């Protein structure tokens, strides 16, 4: 009979699951990093001696608070708010706020953990954090959203400051919510400071922040393609989601010559066999950011455009060269990966955080498909938040072009770091998952050792 071997990764993960029960997304994120980091630690005993991995997976501080608010009919509601201040090793805690009914402690911890490595890759002085609430903004009036944001900030303001923790947006938190949160902080503290990023440029926001995650993801994919002497030109591109990240990924992929033939929202997907026009991309922005409708409306408005209710976008019948998941975690599973491989996919770049399941990721890697994990590919958003903090501190504004150039330089830098740590001498293939995890880990781990046992 074959003997079952328990690997150091299994032992480590058993302990993680015991200590953090009912947090599957957090376990998944830790496992994915540990798969590459544990063998590296075995070769570099200084990290083992300092027990770095056990320390890095433990948030420095977890804050859970009550958020009471009143709807337009006078009914009282209570939601739960979170801020997980994961790591301040490299700078003030930094990471978005998510308002979505699926939010719980495990989801926020997974996002905060990923953020630590992502922020390290940006090369900017940023620690890692994440927060949010299980509040569902869908179907709520402007006044209800404002009251919720004000109540959320009334609890959160005790724990953040421009030197301590600077939140931003994420799913369900865009410039509108950032405005209400910022207004409430300013009122409580009588202070106009860069306490949040993702602000509108009129009142302290950075140009390109809104575009930066989607643009940055496409810039990263552009670098991956250039590494193998290829480009977006003439490629069939599929993007999931139609929110902030998806909108600007579609836009930049089209600008670079890609043909975006599919996208989605939480209700279904749209197939555009001839590719999205810039007019249609603008319509998606209006629909999602102003009208707050569903994408089914677009199929009624545009000819040769088909809506499939309840179906993932990875199902579209055409050939797919590049897939850019930009919606949410675990939205692309092993079956979807198999379909994409059958359709000829050559490159997958994660605009969302952990949208690909572990099994799907392993399948892409085993087929030598270029695969960029979110912590590298979507780091352009937080990098531009870092630029917003720099502009706020100096009380200056950089123009569009300056910020876009800096964003491109950062994405090139992140790509370089991934190549340095992920290049296999044997196969010549670049493992971007290994590259991103190791480059982020080494920077944070070395800094932790230098700062002592805190």
- Active-site residue list: 130
**250 within 8 A of 282, measured Cβ to Cβ:** no
What is the rounded CA–CA span in Å between residue 436 and residue 221?
14
Q: Nearer Cβ to ligand NDP, position 12 or 387?
A: 387
Q: Which stretch binds ligand NDP (CB under 6 A): 139-147, 155-163, 184-192, 234-242?
A: 234-242
Nearest to 100 by CA among 70, 135, 69: 135
Q: Nearer Cβ to ligand NDP, position 36 or 242?
A: 242
Q: x/- string (CB under 6 A) for ligand NDP, residues 353-372?
A: x-------------------
Q: Do strands 259-265 and 322-325 pair parallel, antiparallel, or not at all (unpaired)? A: unpaired
Q: Nearer Cβ to ligand NDP, position 169 or 194?
A: 169
Residue 270 in the binding site for ligand NDP (CB under 6 A): no
Residue 185 in tokens: 């902080």
Interface with ligand NDP (CB under 6 A), residue from 33, 121, 124, 327? 327
Taking the complex as a whole, the smallest distance from the CB of residue 65 to ligand NDP amounts, in Å, to 21
Can you spell out the DSSP letters for 78-143?
Answer: EEEEEEEEEE-SSSSEEEEEEE-TT--HHHHHHHHHHHHHHHHHTTSS--EEEEEES---TT--HH
Angle, in degrees to the nearest 10, between helices 24-43 and 432-450 = 80
Q: Nearer Cβ to ligand NDP, position 12 or 307?
A: 307
Residue 243 in the binding site for ligand NDP (CB under 6 A): yes
In whole angstroms, what separates CA 448 from the centre of its chain?
Answer: 24
Q: Which stretch binds ligand NDP (CB under 6 A): 50-58, 79-87, 253-261, 325-333?
A: 325-333
Taking the complex as a whole, the smallest distance from the CB of residue 285 to ligand NDP amounts, in Å, to 11
Q: Do strands 322-325 and 347-349 pair parallel, antiparallel, or not at all (unpaired)? A: parallel
Residue 184 in the binding site for ligand NDP (CB under 6 A): no
Site for ligand NDP in 375-414 (CB under 6 A): 378, 381
The alpha carbons of the chain give a radius of gyration, in whole angstroms, of 21
Q: Nearer Cβ to ligand NDP, position 81 or 96?
A: 96
Interface with ligand NDP (CB under 6 A), residue from 85, 222, 244, 356? 244
**Integer CA distances (angstroms), 10 to 4, 280, 393, in order:** 12, 48, 45
E strand or H helix at 5: none
Interface with ligand NDP (CB under 6 A), residue from 87, 184, 242, 431? 242
3-state helix/strand/coil string of 193-224: CCCCCCCCHHHCCCCCHHHHHHHHHHHHHHHH
Q: Which stretch binds ligand NDP (CB under 6 A): 30-38, 179-187, 349-357, 400-408?
A: 349-357
Residue 241 in the binding site for ligand NDP (CB under 6 A): yes
Angle, in degrees to the nearest 10, between helices 380-394 and 400-422 = 130
Residue 104 in the binding site for ligand NDP (CB under 6 A): no
**67 within 8 A of 104, measured Cβ to Cβ:** no
Q: Which stretch binds ligand NDP (CB under 6 A): 60-68, 80-88, 324-332, 421-429?
A: 324-332
Q: Which stretch binds ligand NDP (CB under 6 A): 231-239, 250-258, 263-271, 424-432?
A: 263-271
**217 within 8 A of 380, measured Cβ to Cβ:** yes
Contacts with ligand NDP, residue ranges (CB under 6 A): 169-172, 213, 240-246, 264-267, 288, 326-328, 331, 351-353, 378, 381
């Amino acid at each position: 009979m074959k003997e079952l071997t328990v690997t150091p990764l299994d032992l480590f993960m058993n302990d993680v699951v015991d200590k953090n029960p009912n947090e599957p997304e957090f376990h998944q994120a830790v496992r994915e990093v540990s798969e590459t980091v544990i063998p590296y630690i075995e070769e570099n005993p200084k990290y083992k001696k300092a027990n770095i991995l056990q320390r890095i997976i433990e948030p420095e501080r977890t804050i859970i608070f009550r958020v009471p608010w009143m709807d337009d009919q006078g009914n009282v509601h209570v939601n739960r708010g979170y801020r997980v201040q994961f790591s301040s090793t490299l700078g003030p805690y930094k990471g978005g706020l998510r308002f979505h009914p699926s939010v719980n402690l495990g989801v926020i911890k997974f996002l905060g953990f990923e953020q630590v490595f992502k922020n390290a890759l940006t090369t900017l002085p940023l620690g890692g954090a994440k927060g949010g609430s299980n509040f569902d903004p869908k179907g709520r009036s402007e006044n209800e959203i404002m009251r919720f944001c004000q109540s959320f900030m009334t609890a959160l303001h005790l724990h953040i400051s421009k030197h301590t923790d600077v939140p931003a947006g994420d799913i369900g938190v865009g410039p509108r919510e950032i405005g209400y949160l910022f207004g409430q902080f300013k009122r409580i503290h009588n202070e106009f400071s860069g306490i949040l990023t993702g602000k509108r440029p009129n009142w302290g926001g950075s140009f390109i922040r809104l575009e930066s995650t989607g643009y940055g993801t496409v810039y990263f994919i552009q670098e991956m393609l250039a590494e193998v002497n290829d480009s977006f030109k003439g490629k069939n591109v599929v993007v999931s989601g139609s929110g902030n990240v998806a909108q600007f990924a579609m836009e930049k992929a089209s600008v670079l010559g890609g043909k975006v033939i599919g996208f989605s929202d939480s209700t279904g997907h749209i197939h555009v066999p001839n590719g999205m026009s810039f007019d249609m991309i603008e319509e998606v922005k209006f629909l999602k950011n102003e009208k707050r409708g569903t994408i089914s409306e677009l199929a009624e408005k545009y000819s040769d455009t088909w809506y499939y209710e309840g179906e993932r976008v990875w199902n579209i019948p055409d050939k797919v060269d590049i897939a850019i998941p930009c919606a949410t975690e675990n939205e692309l599973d092993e079956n979807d990966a198999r379909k994409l491989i059958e359709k000829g996919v050559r490159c997958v770049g994660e605009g969302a955080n952990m949208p690909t399941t572990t099994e799907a990721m392993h399948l892409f890697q085993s087929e030598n498909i270029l695969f960029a994990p979110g912590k590298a590919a979507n780091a352009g958003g937080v990098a531009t938040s870092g630029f917003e903090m720099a502009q706020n501190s100096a009380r200056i504004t950089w123009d569009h072009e300056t910020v876009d150039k800096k964003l491109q330089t950062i994405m090139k830098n992140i790509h370089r770091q991934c190549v340095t740590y992920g290049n296999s001498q044997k196969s010549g293939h670049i493992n971007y998952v290994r590259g991103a995890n190791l480059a982020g880990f080494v920077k944070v781990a070395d800094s932790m050792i230098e700062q002592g046992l805190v």
